[in-house]
Structure 1
Amino acid sequence: MSKNPLTTILEANIFNGTNYNDWLRNLKIVLDFENQTYVLDMYLPRALPEESTHEERLTFEKWHKDNRKVCSIVLASMTNDIQKQYDRHDDVRPIMPRMSQIYAVPDQHIRYAATKVFFDTKMIERSSVQEHGVKMLYLVEKLGDLKADLAKEMYIDVILQSLHPSFDSFIVNYNMNGFDKDLHELINILVQCKATIEKSAQSVLVREASTSKAKGKGARCWRRNKGKTESTTASAQSAPVAPLGMGKGKRKAVRQSLIPKDVCINCHEKGHWKRECPKLLPNQAVKLISANGLQVVNRSRRLRQTVLKFSNGRVVATLV
């Protein structure tokens, strides 16, 4: 007969004296695969009476054959120390009752522990809501096997209370709308809600990143403009300022005197401008004197034509 592939379950969960209930559950899984679980529940005598039928004999032979196989599986799934207590038996009938009396945990203790775990379990931040839901469903089924008489509404309330605070809006919506879902449907809805929450959080992060990037760009432009302003202000402050009381033209002359002089376009000599050219200064002086003389003549002419009058309009004298 080929090897049972499920025996690896017992190899990974070998009986060590403290895990009897879990070990027995795994043992029944393996025996169900081979259709040998009935050996643990049905006991037959070691010998059949002479008036037994052919079918009864076949059943008897099959049971004893399977009994030896089950006994070997049970002994092989124990630690060496426990195995030595039962290896003299070739029948599973005296082994299982004895193990149940010594190692089995009463259902009352198991139910208490399972109930405590069920009510105390809380979803961890950034953990999978699907894994959390599967764990809660396992505890619900375990409490059902232990005859824990809890209503479906109680199970749903405990599962909702165990969720992370990020599901608070979902819980409010669920209770206000009076949804009536079974436990598996509730877990599926929670998985979809978690995906929606994560998608919304990612979109918010993208918007915040783009906003901060734009703000950073504006700050860099502001710093560049501020640097230009400061450099311009510094250069303006470092430039010499004309003393107070000087006219605008004199201040302009002071600023222009700081500019290096180039070639004069009148005499083509270096070191001065056209307005400072020595060859043009005499002509400019003559023009200035002529202009001043012309202004004096015009002023005296206007005085000769002045007419003196009283306030009533009577002419007093006329200056010609």
Structure 2
Amino acid sequence: MVAYEVIQNLKEIFEGQARQERYKTSKALFQCKMSEGSPVVAHVIKMMGYIQTLEKLGFALNDELPIDVVLQSLPDSFNQFVLNFNMNEINKTLPQLLGMLKTTEAKGKGKKVAKSKGIGKTKPKGKEALKPKGGISEDGKCFHCGKPGHWKRNCPVYLEDVKKAKVVGALVM
């Protein structure tokens, strides 16, 4: 009976400390947010440490909750990954999820590097987008009036016809 009483006394002494430690660890886990641009590996490993600490303190999380907590802690740049993960109902362990996130992060960095080198330049907008690059060929003729030197979109006869059609349409209504 002496050993039993010693164990009970130790439980009473350290139970309050374990409760406080469990509270601090669960708070850190649920408030953990990855900042944009920081490495995903370090973030997930830190969260896995919190989860393991909770398990040691007798507060084991089921299989899906740790995955959900990690996915919720990711920044907006991982939104497409999270959407695909949830829509495909992928069942993975935390280490498998970490591998998927590493791959996704590596692909995302490759795209950023490509854009910074000027590969994905934006197209001009407005009137610049409509201008021909090589000019008008000398044998080119307008499809509307048949005269050389302009195209249908710039044809004075065509533009006048369009303007008249709008006026007539407005009067009919």
Query: Would the TM-score normalized by the shorter structure come out above 0.5?
Result: yes
In the TM superposition, what are the counterparts of 1:93-242 in structure 2 within 5 Å? 106-207=17-118
Q: Distance in 1 between matches of 2:16 and 2:107?
A: 44
Sequence identity of aligned pairs in percent? 32
**Equivalent in the alignment of 2:6:** none
Structure 2 gap ranges (5+): 1-8, 124-173
Structure 1 gap ranges (5+): 1-96, 213-320
Instruction: Give the partner amino acid of 1:141.
Output: Q
Q: Distance in 1 between matches of 2:94 and 2:122?
A: 42
Q: Distance in 2 between matches of 1:211 and 1:156?
A: 38
1:84-138 CA-partner distances (Å, limit 9, x unpaired): xxxxxxxxxxxxx99xx6x996211111111110000000121111100110110
1:157-215 CA-partner distances (Å, limit 9, x unpaired): 00000011100000000011111110111111111110001111222232368669xxx
Instruction: Give the partner amino acid of 2:79.
Output: D
> SS of the counterpart of 1:122?
coil
Q: Distance in 2 between matches of 1:149 and 1:138?
A: 13
1:267-293 CA-partner distances (Å, limit 9, x unpaired): xxxxxxxxxxxxxxxxxxxxxxxxxxx
Q: Distance in 1 between matches of 2:108 and 2:120?
A: 18
1:20-40 CA-partner distances (Å, limit 9, x unpaired): xxxxxxxxxxxxxxxxxxxxx
CA contact (8 A) 2:115 2:121 kept: no
CA contact (8 A) 2:48 2:94 kept: yes
> SS of the counterpart of 2:117?
helix
- TM (norm. structure 1) is 0.33
Q: Distance in 2 between matches of 1:188 and 1:105?
A: 37
> SS of the counterpart of 2:64?
helix
Instruction: Give the partner amino acid of 1:120.
Output: Q
**Equivalent in the alignment of 2:153:** none
Q: Distance in 2 between matches of 1:147 and 1:130?
A: 26
In the TM superposition, what are the counterparts of 1:42-57 in structure 2 within 5 Å? none
Q: Distance in 2 between matches of 1:176 and 1:209?
A: 29
Instruction: Give the partner amino acid of 1:168.
Output: N
CA contact (8 A) 2:44 2:98 kept: yes
Q: Distance in 2 between matches of 1:139 and 1:210?
A: 43
1:7-61 CA-partner distances (Å, limit 9, x unpaired): xxxxxxxxxxxxxxxxxxxxxxxxxxxxxxxxxxxxxxxxxxxxxxxxxxxxxxx
Q: Distance in 2 between matches of 1:152 and 1:180?
A: 9
Q: Distance in 2 between matches of 1:149 and 1:210?
A: 50
